[in-house]
Structure 1
Amino acid sequence: MKQFLLATLAALATAIHAPAALAQSLTQPVDGIVAVVNDDVILRSELDRQVAQVTTQFANNPAQLPPRDILERQLLDRLILQKLQIARAVDSGIKVSDAQIDQTLVQIAQQNRLDVSQLRGAIESQGMDYGQFRNNVRDQLLVQHLRQQVGQSRAQVSDAEIDSLIKNGHVRTEQLHAAHIVINVPEGATPGQIDEAHAKAEDVVRQIRGGMEFAAAALRYSNAEDALQGGDLGWRNANELPPALVAAADKLQDGEITDPLRGPNGFHIVKLIGKRDAGAQMVTEYKLQHILVKTSELVSSAQAKQRIEAIRNRIVGGEDFAKAAIDSSEETETARLGGDMGWAPAGAFGPVVQQIVDGLKKGEVSQPFEAPPGWHLLKLDDTRQANMAGQMQRSEAKNMIFQRKAEEEYMSFLRQLRSEAYVEIRLPGSEPPKAGSNS
């Protein structure tokens, strides 16, 4: 999930430096509907905005872009999937508060070496609407929370799996930098549809080996969410990736690609960009205490914030944090321990919490902050350096297995979501759907 958020922030941040042509495209009047998605629509202006952003990314090498009609269909498919995810998130009761959006905007600003006021000025100086930019951030956070919800409900990790990973020596310390292209196979695909997807994947491999850049092929053909980033997966611990992908990468030299690999969701093409041995993985670990006040239908965000602020004032005034946690925290697992969360490595609780922890001194209590399922306080008790190589902790092993399963489960979830939706494409040249069709 962390990689997904960082990719999202990076994509949003690129708009800040877009040329005037992109800014103008963001302010063009609505000129029609290009798709109907269940009870929602996608406007021509939304699609034009996506096309302008991609065109800007490839400004130095426009020949790598597919023809306009193919690019529009690829981007429209991604907009459709985004609409479906946002709708499902809202239907599932997922909410994103203004405070969470503000925290994310701080991250985007810092990535661009700006403060939030400068970020807003940079956006508006390009002719873009800051309110729309905030809405884009909100939508991406909704999707992120949906991914977390689906992963937590579907990706179960047993003690036996953790024991096996450690006992059999399958915990690998090396890291891989890979990129991938995914050619989806429809839910309940016929043998003919599977053969068609395989043939398409083989054709993509031929084009890449014939000279097409992998990133351009990902943009043109991949059904994965990271296609706009060239399918780049970044540096990942080998245990976080599907075993079949790792096994294929083991046989590659830097820059080489695999033949099509059959996966649960379709066919994958993998490019190995690099390998490195993590060696002695010295990481910073944090010992934290935590207090939570939950929001609910009966307790609004404002009410929960008021309660957590009152708790913090008591602590700052001299009350012991552990006592306050026992008396007031609604995190049942840690409240009885005085809010003690034990030792955890950097990044274990996500980028938002890590940013807050990084700003604390030993013994300091954080300002209240909001993240599902409510308002939080953290106290930094201590820090230490730990070598993770060769002594895989159960929590780390569990996280690696979970991340791998969660990614696979979410891909299956997206295929099901798309297959169950009513989608009518109205792009020029697209055939109207047959009666009863979902696409």
Structure 2
Amino acid sequence: MNEPTPIIRAATHLWCAALLLIVPVAAAAQPTATAPATADYIVALVNGEPIAASEVRARLARIEAPTNVAATERAALPRQVLQQLIDEKVLLQFAADSGIRVDDTAVDAAEAEVARRNGLSVAQLRARLPQAGLTLNTFRANLRNELMLQRLREREESQVRVSETEIDAYLRQHQGSADPADTVLELAQVLIPVPENASTDEEARARQEAEEVARRARTGEDFAALARRYSRSPEASAGGRMGLRRADRYPSLFWEAVRDLRAGEIAGPLRSGAGWHVLQVVTKRDASLPDPTVTQTRVRHILLRATDEAAQRAAVARLQALRERIVTGQTTFEAAAREVSEDASAREGGALGWAAPGVFVPEFEQAMERLAPGQVSSPVVSRFGVHLIEVLERREVQRSPRELREAVRALLRQQKADEAFAEQLRELRGRAYIEYREPPP
């Protein structure tokens, strides 16, 4: 029995199906020495269920391998794709046996979202499927399978628990790293240049100016304003900020000066070949820790509850019509929410306030993250019903200590879920009967 390949998370993401629409069909139509590209045959059986050569070709068409890949690696790609398809087949069988079901309404919503992400209507999307070598039935089957895998993973993740002790241990392990390769750093600088053949007086004046900038920065004056006024570096107009990167990608002179400093503290003046530098530490953290800032979204929604597939279908149709009225200016989102939403937020015009990542259920959050401020989503199906979502604005805020711990909890939960999911796949493959037939194309 072959060892299963590591589960490729992209294969369990719903929207990887959208990639099929932008990959040239010709990529999957190269003839082989043993069979024409149009021939189809069984390459493997998984507990009696076949995997066809056409499935391998279709997946290969979605892979954009770098042009510099060695011939031996490129030749191994069909076999790797087959192993991925076997993994997915095993997981889909397990999901079905576990009672996970995906109804047509959820597939309809997924199809509408793929169309939206490609800038198409559903009718236009369907018209283009043959160009990607797909029938409508095959495309919808792919979406249904991806939704099943997504729900299987979400179910496994919901069973993972992370203790406070584990969070404490992770923070102790990763705080205060002295290795620049493990440190994420953003610096801001004020550069006072010194000409290559500067006189003693020019050197002294530049140093004096840099020392004055450093003094003012250390007494609490706004560093960005100082950079805009005094710095002659290219990033002066951005307040001197040089961008977030690994610390070993900054000059060693800078890292040695700030390695023992905390965010907000000042280093310098430092002399380099370019002149005198005054540095401020904007961000400094271990690369394994969550970002100390988080993007919050101010969002509102309209919810129609649905207890069965027929009710979901009706809710999707009703909200789609309502969305058309909103985007064409016939009504406002706030007024529509007050009128029809079945959520407690209806009296507030659907307002849900400012939300950090992880607050909402995955279906809602994924749709919300894809919206720009001012955009209204297509109907989104979640466990609570069917939603219309509007993003109002976004902002970056500093995490509180409690929020940082919750971000670490989410990170550890993800790691544990990955390990549990991979172990589950190994067990399922170990119990599965896998029969290889013809080599994959």
Give the TM-score, by structure 1 length: 0.54
Q: Which amino acid aligns with 2:107?
A: S
Partner of 1:46: 55
Matches of 2:397 and 2:352, distance apart in 1? 17
Identify if the C-alpha distance between structure 1 residues 348 and 120 changes in structure 2 by more than 3 Å, giving closer, same or farther.
farther
Identify if the C-alpha distance between structure 1 residues 144 and 323 changes in structure 2 by more than 3 Å, giving closer, same or farther.
same
Report if aligned partners of 1:281, 1:388 keep a CA contact under 8 Å in 2: yes
Partner of 2:237: none
Matches within 5 A, 1:240-259: none
Give the TM-score, by structure 2 length: 0.54
Identify if the C-alpha distance between structure 1 residues 156 and 322 changes in structure 2 by more than 3 Å, giving closer, same or farther.
farther
Of structures 1 and 2, the larger Rg is shown by 2
Q: Which amino acid aligns with 1:38?
A: N
Partner of 1:358: 372
Identify if the C-alpha distance between structure 1 residues 337 and 401 changes in structure 2 by more than 3 Å, giving closer, same or farther.
farther
Partner of 2:382: 371
CA apart distance, 1:348: 6.0
Matches within 5 A, 1:268-287: 282-287=293-298
Partner of 1:400: 411
Matches of 2:290 and 2:150, distance apart in 1? 31
Which structure 1 segments of 5+ residues have no match?
178-234, 238-274, 430-439
After superposition, the CA RMSD in angstroms is: 5.2
Matches of 1:175 and 1:303, distance apart in 2? 54
Partner of 1:386: 397
Partner of 2:73: 65
Q: Taking every aligned residue pair, what percent have the same amino acid on both sides? A: 28
- 283-292 or 41-50: which moved more? 283-292
CA apart distance, 1:22: 1.6
Out of 100, 103, 106, which is 2:110 matched to?
Answer: 100
| 1:246-281 deviation digits (Å, cap 9, x = unpaired) | xxxxxxxxxxxxxxxxxxxxxxxxxxxxx9699975
CA apart distance, 1:386: 0.5
Partner of 2:229: none
Matches of 1:119 and 1:175, distance apart in 2? 45
Partner of 2:250: none
1:146 aligns with 2:178: no
Report if aligned partners of 2:334, 2:349 keep a CA contact under 8 Å in 1: no
Matches of 1:293 and 1:28, distance apart in 2? 47
Matches of 1:48 and 1:123, distance apart in 2? 16
1:156 aligns with 2:161: yes
Out of 77, 82, 94, which is 1:76 matched to?
Answer: 82
Identify if the C-alpha distance between structure 1 residues 120 and 290 changes in structure 2 by more than 3 Å, giving closer, same or farther.
closer
1:418 aligns with 2:425: no
Identify if the C-alpha distance between structure 1 residues 280 and 19 changes in structure 2 by more than 3 Å, giving closer, same or farther.
closer
Identify if the C-alpha distance between structure 1 residues 21 and 279 changes in structure 2 by more than 3 Å, giving closer, same or farther.
closer
Secondary structure of residue in 2 paired with 1:145: helix
Which structure 2 segments of 5+ residues have no match?
1-6, 184-243, 247-285, 326-330
Q: Which amino acid aligns with 2:56?
A: L
CA apart distance, 1:80: 1.3
Partner of 1:36: 45
Matches of 1:133 and 1:236, distance apart in 2? 40
Identify if the C-alpha distance between structure 1 residues 428 and 374 changes in structure 2 by more than 3 Å, giving closer, same or farther.
same
Secondary structure of residue in 2 paired with 1:155: coil
Matches within 5 A, 1:177-192: none
Matches of 1:279 and 1:404, distance apart in 2? 13
Secondary structure of residue in 1 paired with 2:397: strand
CA apart distance, 1:286: 1.9
Identify if the C-alpha distance between structure 1 residues 9 and 125 changes in structure 2 by more than 3 Å, giving closer, same or farther.
same
Identify if the C-alpha distance between structure 1 residues 413 and 6 changes in structure 2 by more than 3 Å, giving closer, same or farther.
closer
Report if aligned partners of 1:301, 1:374 keep a CA contact under 8 Å in 2: yes
Q: Which amino acid aligns with 2:163?
A: S
Out of 8, 20, 26, which is 2:26 matched to?
Answer: 20
